[in-house]
C-alpha cells in the first residue's frame, strides 16, 4: 500500500497587521484524535482584534479573545470573593512524568492564579494504582473548597480511564467528560452542567465574531469524545445542519466543500487543503501537530489540520495555529470552574 505524502503548505511567516474588529459577518458565511483518511450562547458581537492578512481571510485571534474572557472571569472572581468570601477552586490530578502533561498542568495553574482561582494539585507516579487515584478523586469530590476537578489525560495503560473519569462528581466535572454531561448535551431540552473546553472554545469564537450558525451547513472533521463529537452536538443545538467526516467517510473533500462552517479536529497536519473549502467558509482549526523545521531552534514547528497558505485564500475567516483555539481551551476551563463555584453557592 502506497503512502501519500502531503507537502508542507503552512507558511510560518505571514505579514499581518492588527485591526480593531467589531464583529465579522461574512456575506455567505460560507480534536484530539488522529484520523487517517483514505482520500487525498450569545450572538452578541463583541469588540475583537483580528489580523488582516495579505490573503482574503480574516484571521481570528484566539489570544485576544481568550484574554477578554479571562478579564471577565477575573472581575467575577473578585466580586464573588468580596461579596460572599468564596474563592473558586480547581483541582488538577496528574499521573506520571510526561513532559507535555506537566507543561499543560503548569500552564493551567498559572492561568488559575492570574484570574484569582485557587489551584490544588495531586501528582502520582506512573505506577500508582487505580485505587489510589480513585481515592484522591473521592476526597476532592468531598472537599467544599474544590469546585472543579480535572484529570490530566492520557493516563497510564494499566488505569481504566473511563472508570476514573466517571468517578468525578458531575457537579465538579469542569472538563465536561462525564457521560451524564455528554448525554445531556446530546438531548434536546436538556442542559449539561459543563461542556468540554476545546469545542466550547471553538463555539465561543464563532459567537464573539458574530458568525451566524442557525441554518448553516457545518462539517466537523474528526469524531473524538473530547472534541469532534461534542463540537458536532453543539453545532446541532444551534440549529446547524451537521455532518461528521471521519476515517471511513468517502470523498471527505466533497463533503467538507459543502460546509459554511468547518471545524477540523483530526490531528493530521495540513490535511484540509484549499480544494476542500467552499469559498467564503469559516474554518476553525483545532488540530495541533508538529512538522520538521530545520530553521526552528526546536527543530520543528506547530501547524494545524488546515493547510493555512491555501485555505486563507478561500475562506472568509479562520483560526491560526498556534494562537487560535488553543488559548480558548484554558479560558473555557477557567470559565467552567467559575460556573461550578457560582452554581454551588447560588451566586449570580
118 has catalytic annotation: no
> Can you give the pLDDT at residue 345?
98
Q: How large is the average pLDDT for residues 234-245?
A: 98
The strand pairing partners of 220, in sequence order, are 244, 263
- 217 pLDDT higher than 90: yes
Active-site pick, 175, 260, 285, 305: 175
Cβ 263 vs Cβ 242: under 8 Å: no
The share of the chain scoring above pLDDT 90, in percent, equals: 82
The mean per-residue pLDDT over the stretch 271-283 comes to 98
Q: Are residues 90 and 149 in the same domain?
A: yes
Q: What is the pLDDT of residue 55?
A: 52
CATH code, 172: 3.40.50.10860
Whether 189 is in a domain gets the answer yes
Q: Where are the beta strands (DSSP E) in the chain?
A: 16-21, 48-53, 58-60, 89-95, 118-124, 148-151, 217-221, 241-245, 261-264, 282-285, 289-292, 300-303, 317-318
Higher per-residue confidence, 219 vs 6: 219
Q: Give the mean pLDDT of the chain.
A: 88
- In the chain, how many domains are there? 3
pLDDT band at 33 (very low <50, low <70, confident <90, very high): very low
Domain check: are 213 and 288 in the same one? Answer: yes
CA distance 59 to 306: 13
Catalytic residue among 33, 61, 76, 108: 108
Specify whether 258 is catalytic. Answer: no
CATH of the domain at 259: 3.40.50.720
Residues 187 and 204 in one domain: no
Specify whether 158 is located in the same domain as 223. no
Question: Is 341 among the domain residues?
Answer: no
Interatomic CA distance for residues 175 and 196, integer angstroms: 5
Average pLDDT over residues 149-167: 96
Whether 250 sits among the annotated catalytic residues: the reply is no
User: Do the domain assignments include residue 342?
Assistant: no
Q: What pLDDT is recorded for position 56? A: 76
Are residue 205 and residue 146 in the same domain, yes or no? no
Examine residue 256 and state whether it is found in any structural domain, yes or no: yes
- Exposure string for 267-292, b = 16+ CB within 10 A, e = fewer: bbbbbbbbebbbebbbbbbbbbbeee
**199 touches 180 (CB < 8 A):** no
Bridge-based pairing of strands 48-53 and 217-221 is: unpaired
Residue-wise pLDDT for 299-328, tens only, equals 999 999 999 999 999 999 999 999 999 999
Residues 48 and 132 in one domain: no
Average pLDDT over residues 111-129: 97
* Alpha-carbon gap, residue 87 to 112, rounded angstroms: 11
Report the half-sphere exposure of 271 (CA within 13 A, side-chain side): 30
Helices (H), 214-325: 228-237, 252-256, 308-311
**Residue 79 domain flag:** no
Catalytic residue among 61, 152, 172, 305: 152
215 with 119, same domain: the answer is no
- 216 and 321, same domain (yes or no): yes
pLDDT in tens, 278-302: 999 999 999 999 999 999 999 999 9
In this prediction, residue 8 carries a pLDDT of 54
Residue 226 is assigned to a structural domain of this protein: yes
Q: 179 and 210, same structural domain? A: no
Residues 221, 180: one domain? no
In a domain, 133, yes or no: yes
4 is in which domain, residue-wise?
1-55
- CA-atom Rg of the chain in angstroms: 20
Residue 103 in this model has a pLDDT that exceeds 50: yes
Alpha-carbon distance of 147 to 342, in angstroms, equals 9
The answer, yes or no, to whether residue 173 has pLDDT greater than 50, is yes
Task: Decide: 199 and 230 in contact? Cβ < 8 Å.
Answer: yes
Is the residue at 60 inside a domain? no
Please say which residue of 194, 221, 240 terminates a domain. Answer: 194
User: Whose grid coordinates read 473533500?
Assistant: 253
207 and 323 part of one domain:
yes
Q: Are residues 210 and 271 in the same domain?
A: yes
Amino acid at each position: 500500500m502506497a503512502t501519500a505524502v502531503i507537502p508542507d503548505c503552512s507558511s510560518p511567516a505571514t505579514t499581518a497587521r492588527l485591526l480593531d474588529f467589531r464583529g465579522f459577518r461574512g456575506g455567505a458565511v460560507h480534536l484530539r484524535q488522529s484520523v487517517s483518511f483514505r482520500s487525498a450562547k450569545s450572538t452578541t458581537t463583541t469588540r475583537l482584534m483580528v489580523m488582516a492578512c495579505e490573503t482574503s481571510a480574516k484571521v481570528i485571534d484566539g489570544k485576544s479573545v481568550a484574554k477578554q474572557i479571562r478579564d471577565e472571569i477575573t472581575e467575577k472572581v473578585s466580586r464573588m470573593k468580596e461579596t460572599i468570601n468564596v474563592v473558586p477552586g480547581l483541582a488538577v490530578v496528574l499521573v506520571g512524568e510526561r513532559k507535555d502533561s506537566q507543561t499543560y498542568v503548569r500552564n493551567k495553574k498559572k492561568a488559575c492564579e492570574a484570574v484569582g482561582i485557587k489551584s490544588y494539585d495531586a501528582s502520582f507516579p506512573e505506577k500508582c494504582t487505580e485505587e489510589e487515584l480513585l481515592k484522591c478523586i473521592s476526597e476532592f469530590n468531598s472537599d467544599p473548597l474544590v469546585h472543579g476537578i480535572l484529570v490530566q489525560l492520557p493516563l497510564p495503560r494499566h488505569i481504566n480511564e473511563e472508570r476514573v473519569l466517571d468517578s468525578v462528581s458531575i457537579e465538579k466535572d469542569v472538563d465536561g467528560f462525564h457521560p451524564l454531561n455528554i448525554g445531556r448535551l446530546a438531548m434536546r431540552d436538556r442542559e449539561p452542567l459543563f461542556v468540554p473546553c476545546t469545542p466550547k472554545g471553538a463555539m465561543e469564537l464563532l459567537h464573539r465574531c458574530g458568525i451566524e450558525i442557525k441554518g448553516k451547513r457545518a462539517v466537523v472533521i474528526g469524531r473524538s469524545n473530547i472534541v469532534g463529537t461534542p463540537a458536532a452536538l453543539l453545532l446541532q443545538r444551534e440549529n446547524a445542519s451537521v455532518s461528521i467526516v471521519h476515517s471511513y467517510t468517502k470523498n471527505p473533500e466533497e463533503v467538507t466543500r459543502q460546509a459554511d462552517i468547518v471545524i477540523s479536529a483530526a490531528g493530521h497536519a495540513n490535511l484540509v487543503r484549499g480544494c476542500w473549502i467552499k469559498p467564503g467558509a469559516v474554518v476553525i482549526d483545532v488540530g495541533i501537530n508538529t512538522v520538521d523545521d530545520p530553521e526552528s531552534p526546536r527543530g520543528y514547528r506547530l501547524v494545524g489540520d488546515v493547510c493555512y497558505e491555501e485555505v486563507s485564500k478561500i475562506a472568509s475567516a479562520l483560526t491560526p495555529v498556534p494562537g487560535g483555539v488553543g488559548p480558548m481551551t484554558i479560558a473555557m476551563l477557567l470559565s467552567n470552574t467559575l460556573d461550578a463555584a457560582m452554581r454551588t453557592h447560588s451566586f449570580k
